[in-house]
Structure 1
């Protein structure tokens, strides 16, 4: 029965029922930064703070399983020159949103790597470098909505042998959805973690399924990882 349950989880997570290599999974967190999460942040996204526990559970599961975690972040220069076109004017006019070096630009503590004390190296990130913040955990700056646009993400994932990415973060209509489509375009299998992405809605999830993405909640994700890696989900924080 355990073997049958594991096979079912593999099929649910990958869609084809074929062999699954647990080392080929990675977690992508999208824009889980103080300015977007905190209720008093200048760019707060409604509903994101309430989903932090689910995001943290997903990250803890990947860390415990020894699987890669990539945090994708934004860093808007004060003149707005590296912001999306629709936001340049407001930032240039004085809106300080995820400004490099600010507290608001940092990863929210709930999702930050264990041990604390990690601050973003904005100079390196803005130059396109990958910042390592844990044993198998990194941060990348993304200059537009999607995590793959003009970044090293695809190369970093392929160098690690990753074939499946799970996506959590903020906020679905913009960056997570774009990242899902970009991942699919690059032939990665995609898992959308529905209860760990803010502003998600049924039609969007249906459209993700239509391009082959799998939609799981955090509990199902942890069960799938447990089946693939042999790690007991109950051993993971919050599991």
Structure 2
């Protein structure tokens, strides 16, 4: 029987979704539990770097007064709310997730281009839930010969879930790191497993990726 869903760790990329200061527990639009999973996400980024695998950090940038915003937040942003506003500290990626401290380049990200952090590590901006919507992520993954998307980040029922569905619809094998994403529940994880998403812990993923480094 053909297996179209099991991750191929040798062709995997890590996609970190919406981990920005405003969404941490003390941020302007706090998502409970996001600060708690930050150490696991930081450890994941390091494991992927050591394995030589690609990493994409996916962010939002809401211009106060703008309307290119997902519908639930559109009214508040149009009225001037400052949530992950371009150029603010709240919009930045927490430094432990990055290879070196760096601010988001708003001009590059708004143009739809990736901001390159290092070889095989980028930031892209998304205007809606999914990391694939109006972003260069899909083509970048193909350029790096990736067929497996590993997702971690902020607020599972919204952007990480939408990203996993869109990954599947684009024929990527998909995995979710269950202890490196906020707002999980047994029901939410079960729903994703039903569409072929593999769920595993950060420790288990580190073990899987170690086979790439050792060649076994």
Settle same-fold status: TM greater than 0.5. yes
Give the number of equivalent residue pairs: 213
Structure of greater Rg = 1
What residue ranges of structure 2 are gaps of 5+ in the alignment? none
Between the aligned partners of 1:124 and 1:55, the Cα distance in structure 2 is 25
**Partner of residue 202 from structure 1, selected from 178, 186, 200:** 186
Matched, 1:75 2:61: yes
Name the SS of the counterpart of 2:95 in structure 1.
coil
Name the SS of the counterpart of 2:97 in structure 1.
coil
Aligned to 1:182: 166
Alpha-carbon RMSD: 1.7
Cα distance, 1:180 vs. partner?
0.4
Q: How does 1:1-239 map to 2 (within 5 A)?
A: 15=6, 20=8, 22=10, 24-37=11-24, 39-113=25-99, 115-116=100-101, 118-230=102-214
Between the aligned partners of 2:174 and 2:9, the Cα distance in structure 1 is 15
Given that residues 74 and 143 in structure 1 are in contact (C-alpha distance below 8 angstroms), is that contact kept between their aligned partners in structure 2?
yes
Cα distance, 1:136 vs. partner?
1.7
Cα distance, 1:231 vs. partner?
7.2
Between the aligned partners of 2:132 and 2:85, the Cα distance in structure 1 is 21
Given that residues 80 and 87 in structure 1 are in contact (C-alpha distance below 8 angstroms), is that contact kept between their aligned partners in structure 2?
no
Name the SS of the counterpart of 1:110 in structure 2.
helix
Could you list the runs of 4 or more consecutive aligned residues of structure 1 that deviate by over 3 angstroms after TM superposition?
A: none
Once the two structures are overlaid, the 10-residue window that deviates more, 104-113 or 54-63, is 104-113
Cα 1:231–1:69 shift into 2, 3 Å: farther
Name the SS of the counterpart of 2:86 in structure 1.
coil
Aligned to 1:8: none
